[in-house]
Amino acid sequence: MTEQARGNLAADATDGAALEVAGLSYSFGNRFALEEISFAIQPGEFVVLLGPNGAGKTTLFSLITHLYESRNGTIRIKGADVRRRPTRALAQIGVVFQQPTLDLDLTVRHNLLYHAALHGMGRQEAQHRIETELTRLGMYERRGEKVRRLNGGHRRRVEIARALLHRPRVLLLDEPTVGLDVPTRRGIVEHVHRLCREDGIAVLWATHLIDEVFDDDRVIMLHKGLIRAQGSVNDVNRAAGVNSVGEAFDVLTGDEADSGP
């Protein structure tokens, strides 16, 4: 992609995009993990980053959150370049990583208070935000319990509450429901969709699970570091020449896709 094309892409992303990625590539040695990745997410939009294990989803999240850095391409969060203005950019995102990161020996409340302090929140504001987010997730009554006493689904709910304490404008979730039962997964997916509708948060939800895609979601199909298709569910189905997102997943990440675009 030429520099002019990248500039046109950024202009076409519309002013005020919550998250913009343009021409992003990253490699581990001589092996590309991501190649020429470009997309934009608007406020209030739920976007599913769909791909099998090893597709590059976690690498992309590591670049957006500045754990990795690439000089090939740009990442902007509410207009702030992650490389040039990391403090401003990262202050506007909340993250739920694939691997759990709660302190098991602290209570739910103390885990969240610690996170709030890292964001410079005063005690009174932190208490209010903790009550708000835990209540929305049905977890406020368990705020005094140590995390190790919670099941996997409840721990994930606490991590989502933690990610929302500082009122981010972008929420990133990397395989947040892996290992959870179907009703728990469904409840978490529905809750995050409500956040988009009610709070206008932009969401990038990474998963390999087809049943987590809603009909009105936008989908980015990622395979071996390349975007194979992106758009509405219908757009992705048309690109694959099939009638369902499950079939599209099989076609775009299967043997036919391995030969490259």
- Give the model's pLDDT for residue 157: 95
Q: Quote the CA–CA distance of 101 and 252 in Å, as a whole number.
A: 32
* Residues paired with residue 27 on neighbouring β-strands, in sequence order: 32
Q: Model confidence over 90-122: pLDDT tens digits? A: 999 999 998 889 999 999 999 999 999 999 999
Domain with CATH 3.40.50.300 in the chain: 3-92+168-258
**Which of 50, 37, 46, 51 is CA-nearest to residue 1?**
37
pTM over 0.75: yes
Burial label, 203 (beta-carbon count in 10 A; 0-12, 13-18, 19+):
buried
With b meaning 16 or more CB within 10 Å and e meaning fewer, what string describes 106-123? ebbbebbbebbeeeebee
Q: Quote the CA–CA distance of 248 and 224 in Å, as a whole number.
A: 16
Q: Where are the beta strands (DSSP E) in 114-240?
A: 170-174, 202-207, 218-223, 226-232
The arithmetic mean of pLDDT across residues 235-244, rounded, is: 96
Give me the percent of the chain exceeding a pLDDT of 90: 85
**Which of 92, 72, 74, 94 is CA-nearest to residue 83?**
74
Structural domain 3-92+168-258, CATH architecture: 3-Layer(aba) Sandwich (3.40)
Q: Model confidence over 135-168: pLDDT tens digits? A: 999 999 999 999 999 999 999 999 999 999 999 9
Q: Provide the mean pLDDT of the chain.
A: 91
